[in-house]
Structure 1
Amino acid sequence: MLPTFDPTDTEAGSRILEDITSNAGHIQEQVLEEILTKNASTDYLKGFLNGHSDKGLFKNKVPVVDYEDIKIYIDRIALDGEPSRILTNESITELLKSSGTSGGKQKWIPKTAEEGERRAFICCLRDTVLNRYLQGLSDGKALLFVLINPDIHTPGGLVLRTASESEIKNRKDRYPQFILCEDTNQSLYGQLLCGLVQRDAIVSVGTFFASGLLRIIKFFEEHWQEMSSNIRTGQISAWITDPNCKRAVSLILSKQMPDLADSIDLVCQEKSWEGIIKKIWPRTKYVLATITGSMAQYIPALEFYTGGLPVVSSLYGSSEAFFGINMKPLCSPYDVSYTFIPNMAYYEFLPIDNHQDPNCTNRKDAHLKDHIVDLANVKIGQHYELLVTTFTGLYRYRMEDILLVTGFHNSTPQFKFVQRTNVVLSIHTDKTTEQDLQKAVAIAMQILQPLGFFLLEYSSYADTSSIPGHYVLFWELQLRPNDDTPELDQVKMEKCCSLVEQSLDQKYKWLRNQSFSTIGPLEIRVVKQGTFNVLMDFYVSQGTSLNQYKTPKNIKSEKAIVILDSRVVGKFYSREVPNQDS
């Protein structure tokens, strides 16, 4: 039974947090025992444990798996309507769909009512920490942008939703009706408009991922004049036709407010939108958005728009489970670590040599489990791949996340999210990870930053249509004064290409230096502003949730590449072969 408490009672919440993080090893053993006792009779576990719930037997017999290994069981439940006890003796109430933009495939993850309670508990702990560091949050309102899609029902009769949609639709009474609007443009317009009307009450602004917040800022940039007109006249635009959305907005936009409209115009008419969030919502204390891993690329853009406000990555979670909270929410976005909460699931860790490419790990090695360590025994400075065993039917499941142990809070480890395991560029025998690429791009951008540019978004693919193949990077650049079409200097852009190559690993540089090179010069294709919004729209049209969308750093879809190529305004190539000695 999870303890209950008021997250605004920081003293009570802190006591619970200190208690569970001081007994991490013991709690983890209890969690595993409870999972096995409940689920030993499931079809899946019986195949390995013969109905026993012994923890030693579990660690010796149950294999390490990935999604493809358990998909057949999930499909039997989702598509064929077979009972939940195939995987778990808790009743599966719905399926959570992953975004599908990180690894290229959408996953369906079982969820139960009890899992909803666990997620609510960790969110209360997260709020306790925020209230400890940021005073006065209860004296105002949070403007959290959330967008939902219509429910999908599987042939087996289960609802298929994203994790965020599940939270909202299962707690409808806590959210205004415009958030429940399934037309994303109408919903976002309504949320922004109500946020503007109540601008003096807003104390925090946020959404789930940093990329989504930048999309919202772009939407606001395109519609602020219309919203200001609505506020001036007290009338919502005619294209807002969803009855619930229109009704909810009308309750807040109940009269003409010309003075408020004037103040919004004054801010939005400025040439530069630097600090726009702080200017529009002056009482804002922080911005909430996940900005770790691949999201770190958005830090410069968010720093530009937030006006020096703290950007808080508060929670580490996924469709599979919620894992940890950021105990120092006001730290630099580059330094975020998450303290794992030991009663959420059972965690195990597969060590990765700190000099090893994590993508080289043999995913089907029968001896993988011989190297696994539990939560209490991880080492500071070591990289691990996270394995998770949940109450909902995942057992020794590879999350495909690489984490770095940065320290401990009491007896509980703290982890920095490093990268996904399965996102790489490769032409020959080279393997460039997402983290490698991100670092190289950041180094190259140092050429353009003094000119006022920042990188709004980027992606890549390995072009093997010609010989030799080469890396292609798509960059969407923006000038700080909000100019529409940045001037691109040929020499500087070619230098950027060379710097990216020079910053990649030795294997890549060795292959580029061969007399019969298997890799050609790296190419940067600069695209029109708004291009990555178009790309996002494409993925959303394919079933990806806007809340969970993350720009894929390695484009695999031919249709997506066509979209990007159709909006290229400049192509640049490396003119230098990278030096192997650096």
Structure 2
Amino acid sequence: MSLSVDLKDLDVLISNAKKIQDDVLKEILTLNANTEYLQRFLHGSSDKDLFKKNVPVVSYDDVRPYIERVANGEPSDVISGGPITRFLRSSGTTGGKQKIFPMNDKHIEMLGYLLALSSLVTSKHFSDNVGEEGKKMGFHYIRTESTTPSGLLVSTALASFFMSDYFKNRPSKCNSEYTSPDQVILCPDINQSVYCHLLCGLSQRDKVVVVNATFAYVVVQAINALQIYWKELCSNIRSGHVSEWITDLECRNSVSSILRGPNPELADVIEQECSHTSWEGIITRLWPRAKYIQCAITGQMTQYIPTLEFYSNKLPIVSSTYGSSECLFGINMDPLSKPQDVSYTFLPNISYVEFLPVDHEGDMNSIVDLVDVKLGCYYEPVITNYFGLHRCLIGDILQVTGFYNNTPHFRFVGRKNVVLSVNVETTTEEHLLKAMARATLVLDQSTNLMLTGFTCYADISTFPGHYVFYWELKAKDVNYVFELDENVLAKCCYALEESFDALYRKLRSKDGLIGALEIRVVQQGTFDSLMEYFISQGGFITQYKTPLCIKSSEALAVLENKVLARFYSKKNPALDL
């Protein structure tokens, strides 16, 4: 498998997707056919037809015992023909439970390849000259790694990448890609790290052409930190000294070398911009050369689009890559596409991927290969990778939106298991996000408030049950008196309800089997508290995704303790939308 990073090779790669996918499967099976897991199905064979016929489609829970055996010290060949040198940790915020996945240095190489190829595609559209005349202001963090009982390291995918020799030994040109030195990324204290990222970015404001993070939420968190620390940051720049509470010596010394002494003129400029009553456009005001924001903005992250647009004067938001803890998939070939229109082209040389139609009705023989998916249809990816996962469902739902040569584009629709229901209706993640877009439009047109976080749950403690949405709101103008208008919030409730499907509206309006939708406005900072709860359960900020639907009673308690006011829909949604 070639991992050369060259746009000239991309057309060749995706024009031969079928052959490359077959070659990848052959390579994976040759490596893994004699593992304990596959031996019982393939008896040492690497034949594709036998693989399709005998190897079952499984969930993570089916392979968890094998993964845990390796984590507990048994040989890698329980599940993998190659050495397992560490594990990747999933976020756990979507399904409510963390998972670990085996991997080795080959995964680091694949991730580096995917990021480099995506960067080439994006740079072609924006001509951002990253590493030459411009830099990325990246907000990337690691956390202290944990270990399995056998001593193997467990970390997030990007933490593994940033701590790897692959990243540390990258070419000198790539070393200048970020405004922050590696020591800031590798600082184990998140508060010190985010502060130093901002300090480095502000000190080099004339070089910043891209604002970069894993998820949209991380960028929003960085702006929130800037609102807290901007006076102190200005003081550091004015004096040329880093605040004393930055105690990580490697981090502190590396940032001091970037400050290069007092700069009162720059401090004055930053102070003037941050002193405005409104922070609208703060990103482009502080970093005037910024051309786009680069972060994942699909799925659950779409809720942060209005906030990012507000802070950036609607800079393009580029969602460059699509992957999961289980597998890397592809890149966005059209970085200029609107966030709601983002699709990803799957690269055929990373893993072997099959697709199970969402409407399969239990027929596992309906699985198709990458090149055989149909335009407009919905599928769940079934992945086979080099590290021990074989025909494993990952729970994402994708829709085919087109083809680039012979390789399909997929739109991320949502997670399979994220639904609301209080009766027989099922409200999917896609329904929720569309409804929220409609409701926040009502909020934006009628108030000076913006939504900074939301989640929901199905309350069936009373009859009829009803949907509850938790909203955290923030004034766009810092001098604006924070007031909640009952009529506007009731209209937002109604906008949500009228966006749901016909069955919901019938049960709500005609049959009375669903109660009026409720919005509970919570105190500012509540969703930070929710994040802290999930992190306390083993999650990490760079992976964190606010759950669209809350199922944990402990997480609900965090929200309930912060409720300021409750609002209900005052009329039934129409039946004939």
TM-score normalized with structure 1 length? 0.94
Aligned to 1:372: 367
Q: Which has the larger displacement, 25-34 or 195-204?
A: 195-204
Q: What is the CA-CA distance between 1:484 and the residue it aligns to?
A: 6.3
On the 8 A contact 2:102/2:388 being kept in 1, the answer is yes
Residue 347 of structure 1 aligns to a residue whose secondary structure is strand
Aligned to 1:358: none
On the 8 A contact 1:477/1:486 being kept in 2, the answer is no
Aligned to 1:4: 4
Distance 2:406 2:375 in 1: 12
1:241 to 216, 226, 247: 247
Q: What is the CA-CA distance between 1:268 and the residue it aligns to?
A: 0.6
Distance 2:80 2:468 in 1: 45
On the 8 A contact 2:142/2:186 being kept in 1, the answer is yes
Distance 2:136 2:438 in 1: 36
Decide whether aligned partners of structure 1 residues 431 and 332 sit closer, same or farther in structure 2, where only a CA change above 3 A counts: same
Distance 2:142 2:109 in 1: 21
On the 8 A contact 2:277/2:479 being kept in 1, the answer is no
Q: What is the CA-CA distance between 1:217 and the residue it aligns to?
A: 0.6
Amino acid aligned to 2:517: L
Aligned to 1:312: 318
Cα deviation digits, residues 357-416 of structure 1 (max 9, x gap): xxxx76xx4x31x10010111111111111111011111111211111111111111111
Aligned to 1:356: none
1:265 aligns with 2:294: no
Residue 487 of structure 1 aligns to a residue whose secondary structure is coil
Distance 1:254 1:445 in 2: 44
Q: Which has the larger displacement, 477-486 or 250-259?
A: 477-486
Distance 2:35 2:211 in 1: 44
1:509 to 505, 520, 530: 505
Aligned to 2:34: 41
Distance 1:266 1:483 in 2: 16
Distance 1:396 1:150 in 2: 32
Moved segments of 4+, more than 4 Å: none
Q: Which has the larger displacement, 441-450 or 57-66?
A: 441-450
Distance 1:336 1:24 in 2: 21
Aligned to 1:277: 283
Distance 1:161 1:253 in 2: 31
Residue 394 of structure 2 aligns to a residue whose secondary structure is strand
Aligned to 1:10: none
Cα deviation digits, residues 219-274 of structure 1 (max 9, x gap): 11110111101111112112111222212212212311111100100111111111
1:64 to 54, 57, 78: 57
Distance 2:443 2:3 in 1: 52
Amino acid aligned to 1:465: S
Aligned to 1:432: 427
2:567 to 544, 566, 572: 572
Aligned to 1:401: 396
Q: Please list, as runs of the form range in 1=range in 2, the aligned pairs for 1:156-555 lying within 5 A after superposition.
A: 156-170=150-164, 171-172=167-168, 176-353=182-359, 365=362, 367-368=363-364, 370-450=365-445, 451-483=447-479, 486-513=482-509, 517-555=512-550
Amino acid aligned to 2:81: N
Aligned to 2:172: none
1:119 to 107, 111, 124: 111
Cα deviation digits, residues 313-361 of structure 1 (max 9, x gap): 00001111210101111221121111110001011111134xxxxxxx7
2:20 to 22, 27, 32: 27
Q: What is the CA-CA distance between 1:426 and the residue it aligns to?
A: 1.6
On the 8 A contact 1:484/1:529 being kept in 2, the answer is no
On the 8 A contact 2:205/2:287 being kept in 1, the answer is yes
Decide whether aligned partners of structure 1 residues 484 and 95 sit closer, same or farther in structure 2, where only a CA change above 3 A counts: farther
On the 8 A contact 1:347/1:388 being kept in 2, the answer is yes
Distance 1:388 1:484 in 2: 50
Amino acid aligned to 1:574: S
Decide whether aligned partners of structure 1 residues 401 and 161 sit closer, same or farther in structure 2, where only a CA change above 3 A counts: same
Q: What is the CA-CA distance between 1:430 and the residue it aligns to?
A: 2.0
Distance 2:412 2:523 in 1: 31
Residue 428 of structure 1 aligns to a residue whose secondary structure is coil
TM-score normalized with structure 2 length? 0.94
Distance 1:536 1:84 in 2: 34
Unaligned runs of 5+ in 2: 170-174, 176-180
Aligned to 1:53: 46
Provide the aligned length of Structure 1 versus Structure 2. Answer: 562
1:99 to 91, 95, 107: 91
Cα deviation digits, residues 112-148 of structure 1 (max 9, x gap): 1112212222222112102211222332211111111
Distance 2:212 2:111 in 1: 19
Q: What is the CA-CA distance between 1:216 and the residue it aligns to?
A: 0.9
Distance 2:481 2:348 in 1: 50
Decide whether aligned partners of structure 1 residues 485 and 147 sit closer, same or farther in structure 2, where only a CA change above 3 A counts: farther
Q: What is the CA-CA distance between 1:161 and the residue it aligns to?
A: 0.1
Distance 2:255 2:266 in 1: 16
Residue 69 of structure 1 aligns to a residue whose secondary structure is helix
Decide whether aligned partners of structure 1 residues 401 and 485 sit closer, same or farther in structure 2, where only a CA change above 3 A counts: farther
Q: What is the CA-CA distance between 1:200 and the residue it aligns to?
A: 1.2
Q: What is the CA-CA distance between 1:482 and the residue it aligns to?
A: 3.7
Unaligned runs of 5+ in 1: 6-12, 354-360
On the 8 A contact 1:2/1:121 being kept in 2, the answer is no
Distance 1:455 1:469 in 2: 25
On the 8 A contact 2:466/2:514 being kept in 1, the answer is yes
On the 8 A contact 1:497/1:572 being kept in 2, the answer is yes
1:133 aligns with 2:125: yes
Residue 82 of structure 2 aligns to a residue whose secondary structure is coil
Distance 2:186 2:111 in 1: 20
Q: Which has the larger displacement, 257-266 or 301-310?
A: 301-310
Cα deviation digits, residues 74-128 of structure 1 (max 9, x gap): 11111x2111111111111110001111111111011111122122222221121
Residue 543 of structure 2 aligns to a residue whose secondary structure is coil
Structure 1 vs Structure 2 CA RMSD: 1.6
Decide whether aligned partners of structure 1 residues 570 and 484 sit closer, same or farther in structure 2, where only a CA change above 3 A counts: farther
Distance 1:543 1:315 in 2: 25
Decide whether aligned partners of structure 1 residues 463 and 483 sit closer, same or farther in structure 2, where only a CA change above 3 A counts: farther
Distance 2:239 2:77 in 1: 58
Distance 1:484 1:545 in 2: 33
Decide whether aligned partners of structure 1 residues 16 and 270 sit closer, same or farther in structure 2, where only a CA change above 3 A counts: same
1:154 to 148, 153, 166: 148
Q: What is the CA-CA distance between 1:483 and the residue it aligns to?
A: 5.0
Amino acid aligned to 2:415: R
Distance 1:429 1:157 in 2: 47
On the 8 A contact 2:300/2:547 being kept in 1, the answer is no
Decide whether aligned partners of structure 1 residues 17 and 114 sit closer, same or farther in structure 2, where only a CA change above 3 A counts: same
